[in-house]
Structure 1
Amino acid sequence: MTIRPVHALILLVALVLCACDSRSAQDPFTPEERRFIAEHSDGLTVGVSLHYPPYETYHLDGGFEGLGADYLALIGRKVGLRFNPVRFPNRDDLLQSAMAGGVDIVTALEMTDDRQRHLDFTQAYVSVPAAIITRKEFRDDLTIDRLAGMRIGVTVSPDFMDYLKKRIREDCTLVPTTGGYIGGLRALAVGDIDALICDMALASHYIANARISNLRIAGLTNYSIDLRMASRNDMPELKNILRKGLALILPHERKAIEEKWLSLQYEPFWMSRTFWFAVLGAVGVVLGGVMLILTWNRSLKKQVAQRTAALSSINRVLLGSLECRTEREVMLHCLDEARGIANSDYAAWARVNEDGTITELLGTSAGDGPAWDQSLLPSALLGTGQLGDLAAGHVIKATGRATDGDGANRADLHIVAVPLQGEGDKRPHIIAAARMRFPHTPGEVMLLSEMLFAFEEALHRKRAEISLHDKERQLQRAQRMEAIGTLAGGIAHDFNNILGVIIANGELVEMFHCDGDEALQGKISNVLAAADRGRELVSQILTFARKGGEETALLRVSPIVKETVKFLEASLPASIVIEHSIRTPEPHVLAEPTQVHQVLMNLCTNAAHAMRGEGGRLSIVLDTVRIAPGDDATSAEGLKPGAYLSIAVSDTGMGMCPELVERIFEPFFTTKGTGEGTGLGLSVVDGIVKSWGGTVRVTSEPGRGSRFTVLLPAREPAAETEAQAQTTAPPCGGTGSILFVDDERELTDSYRDFLDRLGYRVLAVTDSREALTIFRRDPCAVDLVITDYNMPDLRGDRLAREILALRPDVPVILCTGFSHSFSEADASTIGISDYLRKPISLQDLAVTVRRYLRPTV
């Protein structure tokens, strides 16, 4: 069976159409970018200079044309966007408006550090050399090194001015020019300057159209002006759309635009028209045409293959990143694609240091090659110029000497580096592809550069996804903590009432029934001490329920250490020996007792966890240390010279390596298994200690245990404060009528008994409605009202409002164990005289009542 030529042609056309359909089916735009395109269907504004050929020119009919206009129009057709030109009289006004957000897009702009702070830039879509223009009286070809003794005008960017100052001879004079490139060419034509360095396309177009016959292009510099499209930095989707739109423009479309607008003609004196006619005549028109066709065809095939490979890689990067779980996996996926498209042995994500060295952060290598190693990146690899190019967003190539994977052989290493944007570090980050055989071709460099936006898009997408998941977990954790806080508040309220009964009856027995019985006095003291510990526990619960509000006070840490040791001895296994040492004199510190206990428990439980299994020794040592002025180590920790209380917790466990020591205070970092810890303990310890002006020091070695030393500033207490703490005045009696309201009968009976003994007339009521009825019956018969807050039917604050409405001058004392919605400030606002927190000691109650009723004479 034979296939006729007609049939073969039909089959070929069908295959081409299928390929086109499959390619068009792959949408390179994300849903967010498609939504942005739909939302801006009425068009985006484009800033256009009145006269800036060949890049852009504004017409009186409202349209504009030029190289940038054709590129933007082609992007609009491929993407589905419309663009509305906005006219500006000159480039300076256009740039000021663009950086202020006055327009959405500028079509042809060179990227500088100052502009990058206000605008987002695409990849460079056209590069034009900076040319040296002279009058025709200067016959020689010129370079930067051959401008001796000349007056030179420059119209290129400030970056090029810095570049030029480093390379011109000292006898050259740089002359400022005004009026842009037109003003510079006019100054050159009339002899104000000897040479002008400017954009070659601008100069060629102006010389040809203005018919300035005495100027010529005398040479080129090594500096290329990379023109990019710029967009507002508050429209990140627009930046990505422009980048992808440029990537979708095919090579023959680029060529058609550039041939239409760019006239980059530079003829040295020895390249006359006669000379080239002679050469072409010698070679032959036919041979030259054939070679040109073959070369062009080969170039087209190569570009199509490269473009297809780039699009396939972009698709693999974006789709493959969806299956990655972490940012590291996304980066490894991107590095594998970068290594493949650049035909390299290695690829790495790296940081470029200020001295030009490259620090590898993550690397990958080909499956059949040696593994990636940091030694593959030679030291001091990049020069000053290359660092500047990276900072400007340019792709660079570098060569150095490096060892292979086993460190035995040395070979040339060829690297191409693409800068990454927005890595949150002042030092630039790069994706580097390296190989040891031969340098990278321009096509490979171009493909790697065009892949950059896909890498950044994949990384940003994964970071956003991870951030969303983290915030969801934080929200769930916050909701759990809020629920626990509400539950804790309810428990604290009920427990306060129980403690109030115990404390009140215990103090009654201590004050009025001991009669010198030391045994009874000791037992009552134990009961009251236990109740005080319960009161502290309630205070901790309430602090937790309020999520903050801790009050610091001068205290000694040794009692808390002893209490912690007792608790640990009861809870830790017998294989762990607990030792504690308190070296006198022990200074006071300004801290909160509950948080001191929390710090000690966190450090001790971590130490015990390190000794699980084989056991060991846990040691707690209190000591006083002095920090001398000028101590560099303590200055770095933010400690001031002076005396400090040292709390050292050490263990004989497995110890830690330096890498773990550096990370142990990070939130959510833990070495424990799932369900054994949250990673918040040491982070909380560090935050608490620093809030008191101290620090935590860590020393540890694998196999030799760990030592955590907490340093807290020592404080001197006032003498009268200590004396005041040691003595308590006995309760004083008084006269007057008290209406006492509380729904807890046992508590009401205890307080009534105490106040009766002090000489007051007490009417105790357990129903707030009944109390209000009694007061209404005879308001003047009551001298003082004491009421609980949380009562059924009629709350204490509402009862106080009703009583004060009947008699505004009667003092009201409000007692509460816990309330989410009512504070001391709220009580003062409605006219309540005093605010007591349960459980209330009888001494405090007596002192408070005495403020409002007459004492016994």
Structure 2
Amino acid sequence: MVTKNEYYESGCIATQEETEECLKKYEQTIYAEKQREKMEALGQLAGGIAHDFNNQLMSIIGNATMIQKTEDIEKIKEYAERIIHISQSAAKLTKKILLFSKKGSSINESIDLKCVLDNTYNMVESIVDKTIDFTYSYNANNKMIMGNDVQIENMIVNLIINARDALDGNVGNIKIYTEDSVIYSDVDLTHGETIKPGQYIKVCIEDNGIGIDEETFNKLFEPYFTTKNKTKGTGLGLSVVFGTVKSHSGYINVKSELSCGTVFEIYLPVIEDIKQISSNQKEITNNLIMLVDDDLNVLEIEGELLEDLGYDVEKFNNPINALEYYRKEHNKIAFVVLDIIMPDMNGNELYEELQKIDKEAVAIFISGFSGQAEYEELIKKGYIVVEKPFTFTELSTQIAKLYL
């Protein structure tokens, strides 16, 4: 990428107006180069996605074709199991695509941070050079945060790789540990951060490597800034770390001393105990369910799954019609199952209308993909949200929570 000095040396500088114009053109040049790099990455991503999806579709079509060709019940069951397994893999792939398209922003839900860090350490431990003393301890009493386990894992791995590269000759110490942290008033951190009062889990990644000089320290989180050559990094690692911390409503602080090492401190807010508001408001005494989903194909199979669980199901692909039915029959309905994204009236809006008719209305929400804020708000309020695509077992497990 062209530097500012190289751009100036091309002859584009004289008067103040020309200097300002030069700066403007330089910024446009940098923006264009960044867009080109992003498009190259997108092209590589699209090619990989197409390859994986075509393989998965080939397998699904092949197994479905074999079901058509055989009357052997055991074989049919085997083919069906394969289709379910492959479809679940495809669902994971779509989640990765959504994460990329949202530029690192994703749906956050209640997760056990200790479990995520345990798994990340176990995964990374085997690939860290044996000459490095690599230790991990979870010292915080708190565990639960609102977050995305994939992003947290990627963030920690990024910082571990940075710590490893900071060790001279791959000999030294890397420590990962957590602490409970209560902040009582605004505290200024590095890189323009000011942490707000609250209860946090502090995650620390510490090394005793070469440390960070002042110039590098000030540019740590700038996109595309890197001290590594092109074979070792793109310069996106720490900017992605910073973005992940922000998407989790957290804060980051960095302490470093040349020849002594560096510690990255990440503060993630603890969530309050989640109460199941929707499931504890009234006793469920009958088997009638109202199911609302605007996709007819999905509505039919969801209805059959619920019927297979032993429920009587009234199905609606129009929320307005569902509302009218509920107005007349709400006393007979055990609970409602609502798709979140629908035309005319989304699932959350429909549920608010149902509560006006019966303030103790019980709901389970189904999501193909919805806006992060809306999804998280439902989770924070304690409502059960089932993500499409789901299996029979996953659906029955979520419904069982209504009876706890």
TM-score by length of 1: 0.31
Between the aligned partners of 1:676 and 1:552, the Cα distance in structure 2 is 31
Does residue 5 of structure 2 align to residue 328 of structure 1?
Answer: yes
After the TM superposition, which residues 230-379 of structure 1 pair with which residues of structure 2 at under 5 Å, given as runs? 326-329=3-6
Displacement of 1:631 in angstroms is 5.2
Cα shift readout 1:702-751 (whole Å, capped 9, x = no counterpart): 33222111122333324x359x89xxx99x96699xxx9879xxxx7x99
Does residue 200 of structure 2 align to residue 644 of structure 1?
Answer: yes
Q: Which residue of 1 aligns with 2:392?
A: 842
Between the aligned partners of 1:579 and 1:701, the Cα distance in structure 2 is 21
Q: Which residue of 1 aligns with 2:109?
A: 553
Q: Which residue of 2 aligns with 1:676?
A: 232
Q: Is the 8 Å Cα contact of residues 176 and 205 (structure 2) preserved in structure 1?
A: yes
Between the aligned partners of 1:603 and 1:622, the Cα distance in structure 2 is 15
Change (3 A) 1:538 1:721: farther
Between the aligned partners of 1:457 and 1:692, the Cα distance in structure 2 is 43
Change (3 A) 1:663 1:847: closer
Q: What code does the residue aligned with 1:616 have?
A: G
Q: Is the 8 Å Cα contact of residues 695 and 712 (structure 1) preserved in structure 2?
A: yes
Between the aligned partners of 1:480 and 1:570, the Cα distance in structure 2 is 32
Question: For 2:203, what is the secondary structure of its paired residue?
Answer: strand
Does residue 149 of structure 2 align to residue 593 of structure 1?
Answer: yes
Cα shift readout 1:615-639 (whole Å, capped 9, x = no counterpart): 4332110111233447566997322
Q: Which residue of 2 aligns with 1:466?
A: 26
Which of 235, 259, 264 is the matching residue for 1:703? 259
Count of residue pairs the alignment pairs up: 324
After the TM superposition, which residues 8-87 of structure 1 pair with which residues of structure 2 at under 5 Å, given as runs? none
Displacement of 1:657 in angstroms is 1.7
Between the aligned partners of 1:694 and 1:735, the Cα distance in structure 2 is 40
Question: For 1:824, what is the secondary structure of its paired residue?
Answer: coil
Between the aligned partners of 1:675 and 1:603, the Cα distance in structure 2 is 18
Q: Which residue of 2 aligns with 1:627?
A: 183
Q: Which residue of 2 aligns with 1:476?
A: 36
Between the aligned partners of 1:717 and 1:688, the Cα distance in structure 2 is 23
Displacement of 1:585 in angstroms is 1.3
Which of 268, 274, 297 is the matching residue for 1:712? 268
Q: Is the 8 Å Cα contact of residues 254 and 265 (structure 2) preserved in structure 1?
A: yes
Q: What code does the residue aligned with 2:33 have?
A: R
Change (3 A) 1:540 1:689: same
Q: Is the 8 Å Cα contact of residues 623 and 645 (structure 1) preserved in structure 2?
A: yes
Between the aligned partners of 1:587 and 1:568, the Cα distance in structure 2 is 21
Question: For 1:580, what is the secondary structure of its paired residue?
Answer: strand
Displacement of 1:683 in angstroms is 1.5
Change (3 A) 1:454 1:632: closer
Question: Unaligned 5+ residue runs, structure 2?
Answer: 61-83, 327-336, 352-364, 369-387, 400-404
Q: Which residue of 1 aligns with 2:64?
A: none
Between the aligned partners of 2:305 and 2:39, the Cα distance in structure 1 is 45
Displacement of 1:666 in angstroms is 1.5
Q: What code does the residue aligned with 1:599 have?
A: M
Larger radius of gyration: 1
Displacement of 1:564 in angstroms is 0.8
Q: Is the 8 Å Cα contact of residues 489 and 542 (structure 1) preserved in structure 2?
A: no
Between the aligned partners of 1:632 and 1:757, the Cα distance in structure 2 is 55
Does residue 341 of structure 2 align to residue 824 of structure 1?
Answer: yes
Q: Is the 8 Å Cα contact of residues 608 and 618 (structure 1) preserved in structure 2?
A: yes
Which of 738, 758, 767 is the matching residue for 2:310? 758
After the TM superposition, which residues 410-809 of structure 1 pair with which residues of structure 2 at under 5 Å, given as runs? 454-456=14-16, 459-460=19-20, 462-480=22-40, 482-483=42-43, 484=45, 488=49, 538-547=94-103, 550-611=106-167, 613-629=169-185, 637-718=193-274, 720-721=275-276, 755-756=307-308, 758=310, 784=315
RMSD over equivalenced CA pairs, Å: 5.6
Change (3 A) 1:639 1:646: same
Displacement of 1:498 in angstroms is 9.2
Between the aligned partners of 1:550 and 1:537, the Cα distance in structure 2 is 14
Change (3 A) 1:666 1:735: closer
Change (3 A) 1:549 1:332: closer
Displacement of 1:587 in angstroms is 4.8
Question: For 1:623, what is the secondary structure of its paired residue?
Answer: strand
Q: Is the 8 Å Cα contact of residues 565 and 578 (structure 1) preserved in structure 2?
A: no
Cα shift readout 1:362-413 (whole Å, capped 9, x = no counterpart): xxxxxxxxxxxxxxxxxxxxxxxxxxxxxxxxxxxxxxxxxxxxxxxxxxxx
Change (3 A) 1:569 1:532: farther
Change (3 A) 1:721 1:602: farther
Q: Is the 8 Å Cα contact of residues 191 and 253 (structure 2) preserved in structure 1?
A: no
Seq. identity, %: 22
Between the aligned partners of 1:639 and 1:462, the Cα distance in structure 2 is 38
Displacement of 1:608 in angstroms is 2.1
Q: What code does the residue aligned with 1:328 have?
A: N
Change (3 A) 1:691 1:603: same
Question: For 2:263, what is the secondary structure of its paired residue?
Answer: strand
Which has the bigger relative contact order, CA under 8 A and spacing at least 6? 2
Cα shift readout 1:295-314 (whole Å, capped 9, x = no counterpart): xxxxxxxxxxxxxxxxxxxx
Between the aligned partners of 1:482 and 1:330, the Cα distance in structure 2 is 28
Q: What code does the residue aligned with 2:264 have?
A: F
Change (3 A) 1:642 1:760: closer
Displacement of 1:609 in angstroms is 2.4
After the TM superposition, which residues 40-189 of structure 1 pair with which residues of structure 2 at under 5 Å, given as runs? none
Q: Is the 8 Å Cα contact of residues 189 and 253 (structure 2) preserved in structure 1?
A: no
Q: What code does the residue aligned with 1:454 have?
A: A
